[in-house]
């Protein structure tokens, strides 16, 4: 049984290693951007966009860590992950964003055809 757990842990590590590295790199980049802002150096619009996205990631993760640290927090975190309308994961761990829902075309009755009603 232990071999199965070790193999599962190894596969999870392989699966998330690149994402962990990307999140660490992005957080390091956030540190440098915040240091530039503190020194009153101007940021490009692209740097501002990246900084904003990383700050949102940090704002998502910190409450999740606080909930996780509370007694029974692991179960509460799982429930909140299912109930909340947004993801608690940082952007590096999210798959491709879902496509926006397509509008449903509304059929229009033709002028020469009377409206049909279903009986039942």
* pLDDT score of 106: 60
Distance, in Å, from the CA atom of 118 to the CA atom of 120, rounded to the nearest integer, reads 6
**Count: domains in the chain:** 1
Residue 114 has pLDDT above 80, yes or no: no
Is 79 inside any structural domain? yes
Is 102 inside any structural domain? no
Task: For residue 117, give the DSSP letter.
Answer: -
Is 45 inside any structural domain? yes
Most confident stretch, 27-36, 62-71, 78-87, 96-105: 27-36
Is 69 inside any structural domain? yes
Which residue reads 């530039």 in tokens? Answer: 36
Return the SS3 of 17.
helix
CB 64 within 8 A of CB 85: no
* pLDDT mean over 36-46: 93
* pLDDT score of 36: 94
Structural domain boundaries, residue 56: 22-91
What DSSP letter does each residue of 29-94 carry, written as one string? HHHHHHHHHHTT----HHHHHHHHHHHHHHHHHHHHHHHHHSTTHHHHHHHHHHHSSS--S-GGGS
């Amino acid at each position: 049984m232990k071999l199965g757990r070790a193999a599962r842990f190894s596969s999870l590590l392989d699966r998330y290693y690149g994402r962990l590295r990307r999140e660490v790199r992005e957080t390091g980049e956030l540190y440098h951007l915040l240091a530039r802002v503190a020194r009153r150096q101007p940021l490009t619009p692209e740097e501002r966009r990246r900084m904003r996205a990383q700050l949102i990631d940090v704002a998502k993760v910190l409450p999740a860590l606080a909930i996780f640290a509370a007694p029974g927090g692991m179960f509460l975190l799982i429930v909140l992950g299912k109930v909340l309308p947004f993801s608690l994961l940082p952007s590096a761990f999210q798959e491709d964003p879902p496509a926006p829902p397509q509008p449903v075309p509304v059929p229009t009755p033709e002028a020469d055809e009377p409206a049909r009603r279903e009986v039942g």
